[in-house]
Structure 1
Amino acid sequence: MPKDVVPRPDAETLRAADADRHQIADRIKAALDEGRLSLSEYDDRVRQAYAARTYAELLVLVADLPKPGLSAAEVTARREAEARRAARKMPLALMVLWTVWGSLMAVNLMVWFLVSVTVAGDVYPWPIWLLVPGAALGAATVGVQVIRGQQRRR
């Protein structure tokens, strides 16, 4: 590679091909057919699409348009579903704590079971004491989710 050529890290600075321009023009045409663009907007955007040199210049022309065939209600429903999914997702720290607690509980239950099977007589069920930190962790999880829900409603 010559020394004066600098590699470009982002794909948007790459030059677009005729097929790319045609694909963007088709998306703009679909938006016109769906009534999202006026005829003059369509004209301007198609002219700019065929004059574009890079992907960045092409992508800007369709950035405000949904995929062809999607209605505004479908776009809104998808965004709301994504927001609900993100709100339900537990923070990473809580997931790690639940994993640690579950692992400790499983190991303790297995050891207690093996001891109680191999020893004659009753064995004190010490794994029950792990329910205390489990309950605290459950309360913390519920509290975090409630706080996140209240912040989302504001």
Structure 2
Amino acid sequence: MSRDEMRAGDADRQAVVERLKTALEEGRLDLHEYDERLQQTYAAKTFRELDGVVTDLPGPIPAQQSRVQPFQPPAAPQPAAGVGETPRSGVRPFLASYGGVVLVCFLIWGLSCLGSREFVYPWPLWMLIPLILGLLRRWGGRNR
């Protein structure tokens, strides 16, 4: 009995499915043709039927001849020499971002007081509590 007449197993079908998936990703097959070939693959009983599904597709390209560049993760940033104050390093960005929010709230409050021509409850004072607690936490060395 030749190989073509031998019955194919699930692992053989799965290998053909992987080749078809690669061909789809490379643009060699459209989605409709990929679906048809998948159906033929899962219905195949012999190696001849499996080989017929992929005869017109090129084999996998070896990595040495591939034009695709392998992924190289970016190098981790190295800390500058002499930089040792990690707990305080987050104070300025925190102060700039959240302090800006508090400033905008006070500006809105001030404009609403001017627009209504009366003193309105100073609700932006509540915005100062998280700002003060955040600054104390960062200056206290618990910068997490």
Instruction: Please state which band the TM-score falls in when normalised by the shorter chain.
Output: 0.3 to 0.5
The TM-score with structure 1 as length reference comes to 0.39
Name the one with the larger helix percent: 1
Determine which structure has greater relative contact order: mean sequence separation of CA pairs < 8 Å that are 6+ residues apart, divided by chain length: 2
- Structure showing greater radius of gyration is 2
